[in-house]
Amino acid sequence: MILNVKNTNTKSNTKILKCLQYTGFSELQKYAAGGACLSTARLDGKTVLITGANTGIGKETALDLASRGARVILACRDVAKGEESAAEICTQVGGAQVEVRELDLADTCSIRAFAQRFLREVNHLDILINNAGVMMCPYMKTVDGFEMQLGVNHLGHFLLTYLLIGLLKRSAPARVVVVSSLAHYFGWIRFHDLHSQGSYNSGLAYCQSKLANILFTRELARRLKGSNVTVNSVHPGSVRSELTRHSATMSLLFALFSAFLKTAREGAQTSIYCATAEELHSISGTHFSDCAPASVAPQGRCEETARRLWDVSCELLGIEWD
């Protein structure tokens, strides 16, 4: 049922809302909200880096981890917006340690400059959360010529993690959290046309990038065995956010079903869980949703595809990562 929120008949709307509540509407909302992170772990003395933390679930994740005593670094393309978010967090959390640093995941030069400064000024990194992303944008390319969604969602974070992996290992036990999506189920790695130059469908390109997140997580976990650095991926759920701004259809659907979408705080719960839960200290290569292990599409469990994507990613970025 869709409510006409512009209806000025207050009594009518009140009756409808009461009817919906009586018939289980509130229970449906609670179900849609998903699981909550119950961990009370403190992060005093820990350093956390979160990409895209100036809005949405990234910002809510930063707020929660700052409240646990962590030093939280927000890596944002829009520094001004990042500073606003940091100020809001500091207002809500007394004594919060929050910093903002510029990072454009659509530009490998920016990623390298960020990492160089980070390694020079930060002596340990306990939690890396690869959160930033773009969704269903019109066809465009990154500074380096990669299709934007693959470039930002996968390749940008691949390079960032590569540049910081040494510090993560020296800081062990450490964790990497990769924000993926249920959309990976509908994705395929199109090795013959990774950058969608032959044809472009914004939805399929997004799904490909989210599948790449899953495959990256699994392969990185395999390579990190014995290092005491874990890496897990998460599906945050369907969240009210700015990600749908490029798609009129998705924006309309999200508006129509907004009552059943997660808030940013609810969407951040699984990222927070994977970053803090004590019981996950040795769990790696697993996909989570609603603070619990979740299934992965068959194409996301293919080791051959994961290794091939790893090699292709290294080649595209001009790096060697054994």
CA dihedral 195, 246, 1, 23 (to 10 degrees): 80
Selecting among 22, 139, 162, 206, the annotated active-site residue is 206
Q: Could you confirm whether 206 is annotated as catalytic?
A: yes
Structure tokens at 2: 């869709």
128 beta partners: 49, 176
Rounded Cα gap, residues 108 and 188, in angstroms: 24
Angle in degrees, CA 279, 32, 176, rounded to 5: 35
Closest by Cα among 173, 226, 195 to 43 = 173
Closest by Cα among 144, 154, 71, 132 to 107 = 144
Q: How far is CA 236 from the centre of its chain?
A: 8
CA dihedral 122, 86, 209, 245 (to 10 degrees): -160
Q: Which amino acid is at 3?
A: L
Residue 34: other Cβ atoms inside 10 A: 20
For strands 229-235 and 71-76, give the pairing.
unpaired
Ramachandran category for residue 15: left, alpha or beta (phi over 0 → left; psi -120 to 50 → alpha): alpha
Q: Give residues with Cβ within 8 angstroms of 16, minimum separation 6.
A: 3
CA dihedral 38, 39, 42, 47 (to 10 degrees): -100
Rounded Cα gap, residues 209 and 153, in angstroms: 6
Catalytic residues: 206
